[in-house]
Chain A
Amino acid sequence: MENVLSILFCLTLLYLVITARLKTYVGILRAQGILLSVIIIFPFLRHLSVHILIIPLMSLIVKAVIIPRFINKIIIDLDVKRIIEPNIQPFNFLLLSVASMSVIFIMSHVLSGYTPIETIPFASAFSAIVIGLLLIIFREKLIVHVVGFLILENGIFLFGTSIAAEMPTIVELGALLDILVVVFLMGIAVNKISSTFTEQKVTVLGGLKD
Chain B
Amino acid sequence: MALRILQGLLPFLFILGLSPLLVGLINKQKALLTGRTGAPIWQPYYELIRLSRKETIYAKTASFVSRLAPVVVFSAVLIAGFMLPVGYTRPLLSFNGDIVVFAYLLGLARFFQIIGAMDIGSSFEGMGAAREATFAVFAEPIYFFTIGSLAFVSGYTSLYEIYLSIRLDNPSSLVFIIVSSISAFFLMVTECSRMPVDDPNTHLELTMIHEVMILDNSGVDLFLYQYSSYIKIMIYGIYEVLFFNPFGMQNQWLGFSLFIVLLLLLSTIVAWVETMIARLKMKNVPQYLLFATAIGILDLLIYTFVK
Chain A residues with CB under 8 Å of chain B are 1, 3-4, 7-8, 10-11, 14-15, 17-18, 20, 90-91, 94, 97-98, 101-102, 105-106, 108-109, 112, 119-120, 123
Contacts and interface: CB of A to CB of B under 8 A. Distances in A.
Contacts of A108: 305
A123 B298 CA distance: 11
B178 A7 contact: yes
Contacts of B182: 11
A74 to B, nearest CB: 26
Q: By DSSP majority rule, is chain A's interface helix, strand, loop, or mixed?
A: helix
A3 B306 contact: yes
B190 to A, nearest CB: 15
Nearest to B290: A94
A18 B305 contact: no
Interface stretch (B30-38, B39-47, B169-177, B240-248): B169-177
B305 A4 contact: no
A204 to B, nearest CB: 28
B246 to A, nearest CB: 15
A98 B296 CA distance: 11
B63 interface: no
A8 B304 CA distance: 18
B298 A119 contact: no
A3 B295 contact: no
Interface of B: 171-172, 174-175, 178-179, 182, 284, 286-288, 290-291, 294-295, 297-298, 301-302, 304-306
A51 to B, nearest CB: 29
A3 B172 contact: yes
B175 A11 contact: no
B178 A102 contact: no
8 contacts: A4-B178, A11-B182, A18-B291, A20-B284, A90-B287, A98-B294, A102-B301, A109-B306
Contacts of A18: 287-288, 290-291, 294
Q: By DSSP majority rule, is chain B's interface helix, strand, loop, or mixed?
A: helix
Contacts of A14: 291, 294-295, 298
Of B175, B179, B294, B295, most buried by chain A (CB within 10 Å of CB) is B294
Contacts, number: 64
Nearest to A97: B294
Given A94-B291, A108-B305, 12 more contacts: A7-B175, A8-B178, A11-B295, A15-B291, A18-B287, A90-B287, A91-B286, A91-B287, A98-B298, A101-B298, A105-B305, A119-B306
**List of 6 A-B pairs having minimum Cβ-Cβ separation, nearest first:** A109-B305, A105-B301, A18-B291, A7-B175, A14-B294, A98-B294
Of B179, B182, B288, B305, most buried by chain A (CB within 10 Å of CB) is B305
B252 to A, nearest CB: 28
B306 A120 contact: yes
Contacts of B305: 105-106, 108-109, 112, 119
A52 B101 CA distance: 54
B160 to A, nearest CB: 26
Nearest to A20: B284
B298 A7 contact: yes
B294 to A, nearest CB: 5
A4 B298 contact: no
Contacts of B304: 109
A154 B304 CA distance: 25
Nearest to B293: A98
Contacts of B290: 18, 91, 94
Contacts of A20: 284
B86 to A, nearest CB: 29
Contacts of B171: 1, 3
A97 B295 CA distance: 12
A109 B294 CA distance: 19
A98 B16 CA distance: 40
Of A7, A94, A109, A123, most buried by chain B (CB within 10 Å of CB) is A7
A5 to B, nearest CB: 9
Contacts of B295: 11, 14
Given A3-B172, A3-B175, A4-B178, A101 B286 contact: no
Contacts of A105: 301-302, 305
A8 B182 CA distance: 11
Contacts of A106: 301, 305
B153 to A, nearest CB: 14
B114 to A, nearest CB: 23
Contacts of B174: 4
